[in-house]
A and B are shown apart, each in its own frame.
Chain A
Amino acid sequence: MQAKEKIMLHQFTLLVIIFTIGSSILITPAGLARIAKQDAWMVVILATGISMLFISLYNSLGRRFPGMTLTEINEQILGKWLGKIVSLLFISYFFILASALTLEIGDFMTTQIMPETPIQAVQIIFISIVVMGVRYGLGTFSRAAEIFFPWILFFILFLTFSLLPQVNYVRIEPVFENGIKPILQATVPMLGLPFLELVVFLMIIPAIQQTKKVGKAFYAGTIIGGFILLVITLLTVYVLGSSLTSTQMYPSYVLAKKVNIGGFLQRVEAIMAGIWFLTIYFKITICFYASSLGLAQTFKLNDYRPLIFPLGMLLIALTQIISPNIVYFNYILRYVWTPYSLTYGLFFPLLLLVVAVIRKQKVKG
């Protein structure tokens, strides 16, 4: 029935990388620098390291039930009704994540670039393209990711190299100023955003052609994504310093504003914002695809496409009411998002795995 489309392994890796970079590239450095100061880069390494455990959890679930999406696994393990309830919960998580990301890109645009434009205009245009992408299907937007990934990489490399002259290495000293504690404290929110959100890929794994190497590709994608986040975090601390980074709403945008080569290559920040449009676009698309597909599978529909338009409209509506203002939203990201993500990214998958092991359920691929 669903998920007839197949994607290639390397496309999957690219999707994981882009998803990991996602919105984190824009906002994470500030949160990390606020708690861990100049040790922020260690937090990225630590969080990426810990996330390997989650990935192995997702992988073992995927390996146990090859060819099945998360919603199908739910029903297989927990039975029809309980499985459907858990699936709906997962779908709500993906949907709220998509909505939060839409809010983020809207807030960014209206804070930094176009303050007088109604935020809805930005969101509606953005979501129309997401809806279009999901309607064309997984195969299409995976190929789009293939086309756009070199650009994302190019912009990040460009940013890195053009800021090298302004790098001040002493800014990351002293190392371990306040000991290990703040580093651990800062790791917690970083796990929630983006690493625990990677559970969404359990909806996509069954669509991969080369089933055997999925595990490795998942690890590799996460590590590369984490590495790019590490580079950006190091850059913000090296160039802006930890105190300035922590006071900024969007530190990497300020970073892009600093680019100035010989007085003529400057003011490139709007082009740099292109990175975030691309990465956030794919992140929303993946979440939105997962929620549409999941919903269709839960209700045993033949095709998920009819759901896309109504869900897209719902997404825009949800984005309007999900947070009254940006301060509230940042509060949620800081204190609530990780426990919330833990429920879906760790607790439920672990529960599913444990139940499957106890009931000795396994599907032969």
Chain B
Amino acid sequence: MKKWVLFFCMLTIVLLLLSGCWNRRELNELAIAMAYGFDKEGDQYLVTTQVVVPSEVASKTTGGNLIPVVVYQAKGATLFEAIRKMTLLSPRKIYASHLRMLVIGEELAKEGISEALDFISRDHENRTDFFVTVARNQKAEDILKVTTILEKIPANQMYQALQTSADAWAPSAHITLDQLIADLISKGKEAVLTGIEKEGPLKVGESKDNVQKIDPPTRLTYTTLAVFKGDRLVGWLTENESKAYNYIHNDVKSTVGHLPCTNGGKVTVEVIRSKSKLKGKVINGIPQIEIDVRTEDSVGEANCEIDLTKTETIEHLEKTAEKGLKDMITKTVAEAQKYKVDIFGFGEEINRSNPDYWKKVKDHWDQEFEKLEVKVNVDVNILRVGTTKYPIMKLIKE
């Protein structure tokens, strides 16, 4: 008898424990957010969320007629409040663990982004592996309302596009949340973020018509890098400056650039590998930075009368390329020095090499940065010329 009572007691306890997670949230109760857009309107935050419509993504038979995402918006005095307010619109609670993109409106970026970042890093649902971008000249909400076709979920399109362009074209940078926060905290480096733009009218962009055209009238495109001082956006780099930033920061994986020939025409060179190193030192109380960039290139396009079979030509090309790259980097550094924004992390480098000196200057580093001596060494190695020897142009003329 006693055994049976014990047995039933055990069963009851096991029943309690085996019933599953306490606060389980099944897939059909989640609104999976793919992208957040943060804007400021007056003293209120406007949060835009792009949420997946699972039925449109998952099944091949029934779906396919509707746009696979829906956008919810809410305003609130703080971000968290605004996001919770979305439950007024959405049947499901927003679930942010699969977030891919965070878009910050330019206006908010100019006012400062630290408030926005505290929420997003404190909440346990958010990971740190999504990309952060700035909506250039626009509000973040407009960016999130554009439909895309190759990747049906616009947030995925943005994510992939940024990754691809950063890998193959170089003027953009994929900055994740933890990187951004580390840059903002650091006294020896200012943050940058890639800009994103909507081209074309929003009216078309937010409808299904947009993606039913072979040439969608409204699209999203990445622009150059936004420069932050502290947590405020202070300006934008040009394309070449953005490229130079990535060269200095050792973030160039592959890119393409053209060189002028001596007698007119252009040669395009593809960078296959690039490696850069920063070295900081302090000599007699004057900080110095040395940037070493080494690239491996191949000729990708030759549209002038040069003889690619001669080693002198290659040497000449290498020299031209070295000079061009060196100029680009030097100019970019000078430009940053003009605005006293150390986006390159030179301060961190000085700190690493001479902590004692750094302690003296770290509170007015922007002034020291302005006077910083920067030496640029570029070593370009053109290793290959592609599958053909002679420029087509040259053959035709002969």
Q: Which A residues have a C-beta under 8 Å from some C-beta of B? A: 111-118, 121, 125, 170, 173-174, 176-178, 240-241, 243-244, 247, 254, 257-258, 260, 266
- B178: contacting residue among A113, A117, A176, A244, CB under 8 A: A244
The verdict on B21 contacting chain A, using a C-beta distance below 8 Å, is: yes
On whether A241 and B182 interact (CB within 8 A), knowing A257-B128, A258-B128, the answer reads: yes
Contact B21 A114 (CB under 8 A): yes
Q: How far is the CA of A229 from the CA of B355 in the complex (A)?
A: 27
Tell me which residues across on chain B come within 8 A of A266, comparing CB atoms: 129
Chain B interface, number of residues (Cβ within 8 angstroms): 20
Contact A240 B178 (CB under 8 A): yes
Contact B17 A125 (CB under 8 A): yes
The verdict on B4 contacting chain A, using a C-beta distance below 8 Å, is: no
Tell me which residues across on chain B come within 8 A of A260, comparing CB atoms: 129
Contact B355 A243 (CB under 8 A): no
The verdict on B55 contacting chain A, using a C-beta distance below 8 Å, is: no
- B128: contacting residue among A115, A116, A254, CB under 8 A: A254
On whether A174 and B128 interact (CB within 8 A), knowing A114-B21, A114-B23, A241-B182, the answer reads: no
Q: How far is the CA of A111 from the CA of B78 in the complex (A)?
A: 21
Contact B23 A257 (CB under 8 A): no
Q: How far is the CA of A260 from the CA of B128 in the complex (A)?
A: 12
* Closest-CB distance, B332 to chain A (whole angstroms): 22
- A177: contacting residue among B21, B124, B129, B355, CB under 8 A: B355
Tell me which residues across on chain B come within 8 A of A114, comparing CB atoms: 21-23
On whether A244 and B355 interact (CB within 8 A), knowing A116-B22, A116-B23, A117-B23, the answer reads: no
Contact A176 B186 (CB under 8 A): no
Binary contact track B159-195/A, C-beta < 8 Å → 1, others 0: 0000000000000000000100110011000000000
Contact A176 B127 (CB under 8 A): no
The verdict on B352 contacting chain A, using a C-beta distance below 8 Å, is: yes
Interface of B: prevailing SS: helix
On whether A174 and B185 interact (CB within 8 A), knowing A111-B124, A116-B23, the answer reads: no
Pairs A–B under 8 Å by Cβ, sample size 19: A114-B21, A114-B22, A115-B23, A116-B22, A116-B23, A121-B22, A125-B17, A173-B352, A174-B351, A174-B353, A174-B355, A176-B355, A177-B351, A240-B182, A244-B178, A244-B185, A247-B185, A258-B178, A260-B129
On whether A243 and B185 interact (CB within 8 A), knowing A111-B124, A125-B17, the answer reads: yes
Tell me which residues across on chain A come within 8 A of B17, comparing CB atoms: 125
Q: How far is the CA of A243 from the CA of B188 in the complex (A)?
A: 12
Tell me which residues across on chain B come within 8 A of A247, comparing CB atoms: 181, 185
Residue of B whose beta carbon sits closest to that of A121:
B22
Tell me which residues across on chain B come within 8 A of A115, comparing CB atoms: 23, 124
Q: How far is the CA of A332 from the CA of B22 in the complex (A)?
A: 30
Q: How far is the CA of A174 from the CA of B178 in the complex (A)?
A: 21
Complex interface residues of chain B between 119 and 174 (CB less than 8 A to chain A): 124, 127-129
- A174: contacting residue among B124, B181, B186, B352, CB under 8 A: B352
Contact A257 B127 (CB under 8 A): yes
Tell me which residues across on chain A come within 8 A of B127, comparing CB atoms: 257
Q: How far is the CA of A254 from the CA of B181 in the complex (A)?
A: 14
Tell me which residues across on chain A come within 8 A of B352, comparing CB atoms: 170, 173-174
* Closest-CB distance, A306 to chain B (whole angstroms): 18
* Closest-CB distance, B222 to chain A (whole angstroms): 20
Tell me which residues across on chain A come within 8 A of B178, comparing CB atoms: 240, 244, 254, 258
* Closest-CB distance, B18 to chain A (whole angstroms): 12
Tell me which residues across on chain B come within 8 A of A111, comparing CB atoms: 124
- A258: contacting residue among B129, B182, B355, B359, CB under 8 A: B129
Complex interface residues of chain B between 338 and 355 (CB less than 8 A to chain A): 351-355
Q: Which B residues have a C-beta under 8 Å from some C-beta of A? A: 17, 21-23, 124, 127-129, 178, 181-182, 185-186, 351-355, 358-359
Tell me which residues across on chain B come within 8 A of A170, comparing CB atoms: 352
Residue of A whose beta carbon sits closest to that of B24:
A114
Q: How far is the CA of A118 from the CA of B22 in the complex (A)?
A: 9
Contact B181 A244 (CB under 8 A): yes
Q: How far is the CA of A243 from the CA of B185 in the complex (A)?
A: 7
* Closest-CB distance, A181 to chain B (whole angstroms): 13
On whether A243 and B186 interact (CB within 8 A), knowing A121-B22, A254-B128, A258-B128, the answer reads: yes
Contact A178 B355 (CB under 8 A): yes
Tell me which residues across on chain B come within 8 A of A243, comparing CB atoms: 182, 185-186
Q: How far is the CA of A118 from the CA of B182 in the complex (A)?
A: 33
Tell me which residues across on chain A come within 8 A of B124, comparing CB atoms: 111-113, 115
- Kindly list 10 other residue pairs between chains A and B, CB separation below 8 angstroms, not including A247-B185, A257-B129, A260-B129: A112-B124, A115-B23, A173-B352, A240-B182, A243-B182, A244-B185, A254-B128, A254-B178, A257-B127, A258-B129
Q: How far is the CA of A111 from the CA of B125 in the complex (A)?
A: 10
Residue of B whose beta carbon sits closest to that of A254:
B128
Contact A244 B182 (CB under 8 A): yes
* Closest-CB distance, A167 to chain B (whole angstroms): 15
Tell me which residues across on chain A come within 8 A of B21, comparing CB atoms: 114, 117
Tell me which residues across on chain A come within 8 A of B358, comparing CB atoms: 174, 177
- A117: contacting residue among B22, B129, B185, CB under 8 A: B22
Q: How far is the CA of A257 from the CA of B23 in the complex (A)?
A: 21
Tell me which residues across on chain A come within 8 A of B355, comparing CB atoms: 174, 176-178
* Closest-CB distance, B358 to chain A (whole angstroms): 8
Residue of A whose beta carbon sits closest to that of B98:
A267
Tell me which residues across on chain A come within 8 A of B23, comparing CB atoms: 114-117
Q: How far is the CA of A177 from the CA of B178 in the complex (A)?
A: 23
Q: How far is the CA of A174 from the CA of B353 in the complex (A)?
A: 7
Q: How far is the CA of A121 from the CA of B354 in the complex (A)?
A: 52
Residue of A whose beta carbon sits closest to that of B17:
A125
* Closest-CB distance, A114 to chain B (whole angstroms): 6
* Closest-CB distance, A361 to chain B (whole angstroms): 48
* Closest-CB distance, B384 to chain A (whole angstroms): 28
| Listed residue (A170, A174, A176, A240) with the most chain B CB atoms within 10 angstroms of its CB | A174
Q: How far is the CA of A241 from the CA of B351 in the complex (A)?
A: 14
Tell me which residues across on chain A come within 8 A of B129, comparing CB atoms: 257-258, 260, 266
* Closest-CB distance, B6 to chain A (whole angstroms): 15
* Closest-CB distance, B275 to chain A (whole angstroms): 14
Tell me which residues across on chain B come within 8 A of A121, comparing CB atoms: 22
Residue of B whose beta carbon sits closest to that of A122:
B22
The 10 A-B pairs with the shortest beta carbon distances in the complex, nearest first, are A116-B23, A117-B22, A173-B352, A177-B355, A174-B355, A243-B185, A174-B352, A244-B182, A241-B182, A112-B124
Tell me which residues across on chain A come within 8 A of B351, comparing CB atoms: 174, 177
Q: How far is the CA of A173 from the CA of B278 in the complex (A)?
A: 13
Tell me which residues across on chain B come within 8 A of A241, comparing CB atoms: 182
Tell me which residues across on chain B come within 8 A of A244, comparing CB atoms: 178, 181-182, 185
Tell me which residues across on chain B come within 8 A of A173, comparing CB atoms: 352
* Closest-CB distance, B120 to chain A (whole angstroms): 13
Q: How far is the CA of A114 from the CA of B24 in the complex (A)?
A: 9
Q: How far is the CA of A260 from the CA of B22 in the complex (A)?
A: 28
* Closest-CB distance, B98 to chain A (whole angstroms): 9
